[in-house]
Amino acid sequence: MARKDKASNAAQKMKGKAKEATGKLTDDESLESKGKTEQVKGDVKQAGENVKDAFKRGR
């Protein structure tokens, strides 16, 4: 399950980067902002996965 979650988080970050780049190219500040937000969400979720992994290793 962790691999699936990590892949999903990475995909969310990539999607966010694409949205941000598209927003910059089209001068759409809203889309750019949504892309940045999506990247942050992916980072936060990934950090949570890393904490879970560290906890499992510490047991």
Domain ranges of the chain: 30-54
Average pLDDT, the chain: 93
CA torsion angle for 31, 36, 26, 11 (degrees, to 10)?
-90
pTM: 0.83
pLDDT digits (tens, 9 = 90+) for 13-30: 999 999 999 999 999 999
